[in-house]
Structure 1
Amino acid sequence: MSTPMRTDEHWANYNSRQAARPIRESCRRAMAVAGRGAGRIAVDLGCGAGRETRAFLEAGWRVSAFDGEPGTEARLLRTIGGRHAALTIETIRFQELYDLPDADLVYAGYSLPFQTRDDFDRLWTLIRAALRPGGRIAVDLFGDRDSWAAEPGMTFLTEPETRALFDGLTIEHWDVEDAPGTAFSGPKHWHVFHVVAQRR
């Protein structure tokens, strides 16, 4: 099975092929239940090529986009077609991220699992603290049966551990992917929790 090659070159190659893909399903679901942005704030954690960032802007959200990879700002601006008054971009490694803006929607598509457990837990605390009443979290988290589960420096969760993250929130969508598939680096077994939850 393939393992993630977490180098700047790997992520640059990965992101270069992402700008034209459809938005990820967890993001699409969260936007569908949240409705038009109408000036509300979305946080895109691990914005990559900016495909979801662009969708948020087109739907009327103000967006704070975060990613640690070099060239993030230039890559994202290419995707959205130039600077946008409703967009702020911060190029920062998640290990150095200690503050998030108050948000009505926090989206982290496949980005949080690439953190150590300590950093994951700290980031999750930040996300929960940033979420405004009525706001939503949309995430894709790796399960313990994923073929990368032995990879050091990442976070893989059991189903009970994943559900516990959402204590006090209303889970609006819960889907477990547990099947062979293909990653950017090759074939693998995916075990992923796709979750949308709301703070009431």
Structure 2
Amino acid sequence: MTERHDAGHWARYNARQTSRQVRDLCRHAMALAGPGAGRTAIDLGCGAGRETRALLDAGWRVVAVDSEPGTEARLLRTIGGRHPALTVRTCGFEAVSELPAADLVYAGYALPFQPRSSFDQLWTAIRSALRPGGRVAVDVFGDHDSWAGDPAMTFLPEAEARALVDGLETEHWHEQDAPGPAFSGPKHWHVFELIARRPT
């Protein structure tokens, strides 16, 4: 078992995330979507809740999903207490067969941390949840990544990553294929960052 799959890895990781900035991908998706105005966003792999808080602050109703025990308590610390627009689901991605209708689905560095069968099931649920005009904003890992080959994770060649959004309007696409830091130490990152919109 690698360190990133042991029982305490994500607890240690999330403990380090409480003070970081909101990820650029989430900021970009929020800018494209405009004010939440009571619309629904889903934060998959919400972790320490930095993006959950940003979405709530922007007027979104948020369904936050994470498998880590203690997710709800951690989120409440990040956002400063209970919030009427927040719903928390503590479960693994493999248990997600459907999602509520949503105007934005965000998953930052989360979707790759599941096997391909689970990934495909969740991606189907994400696409089914998007309302007309709704957006999906995610990072997926490419096949040049130094973790590629881990059977507990999903890595896609570029053609398959692009095929994820067939029929949607791609608004943002960025590929990172370079060495960089990670929580567990230096590695080679191969990441496809994308935002796509369901046509109205």
Provide the TM-score with structure 1 as the length reference. Answer: 0.97
Answering whether residue 43 of structure 2 is matched by residue 44 of structure 1, we say yes
Deviation at 1:7, TM superposition (A): 2.3
1:56-76 CA distances to partner (integer Å, 9 max, x unpaired)?
000000000000011101111
Q: More relative contact order in 1 or in 2 (CA 8 Å, sep 6+)? A: 1
In the other structure, the counterpart of 1:174 is 173
In the other structure, the counterpart of 1:26 is 25
Query: Please, which runs of 5 or more residues in structure 2 have no aligned partner?
Result: none
In the other structure, the counterpart of 1:163 is 162
Deviation at 1:195, TM superposition (A): 0.3
Mapped to 2, the partners of 1:5 and 1:123 lie a distance apart of 21
Worse-superposed segment, 18-27 or 122-131? 18-27
Number of equivalences:
198
Mapped to 2, the partners of 1:7 and 1:80 lie a distance apart of 27
1:107-132 CA distances to partner (integer Å, 9 max, x unpaired)?
01111101110100000000000000
Query: Please, which runs of 5 or more residues in structure 1 have no aligned partner?
Result: none
Deviation at 1:8, TM superposition (A): 2.8
| 8 Å Cα contact 1:8-1:70 kept in structure 2 | no
1:94-150 CA distances to partner (integer Å, 9 max, x unpaired)?
111122110000001111101110100000000000000000000000000000002
Mapped to 2, the partners of 1:169 and 1:97 lie a distance apart of 22
| 8 Å Cα contact 1:46-1:65 kept in structure 2 | yes
In the other structure, the counterpart of 1:96 is 95
What secondary structure is seen at the aligned counterpart in 2 of 1:101? Answer: coil
Instruction: Percent identity, please.
Output: 68
Provide the TM-score with structure 2 as the length reference. Answer: 0.97
Mapped to 1, the partners of 2:8 and 2:115 lie a distance apart of 20
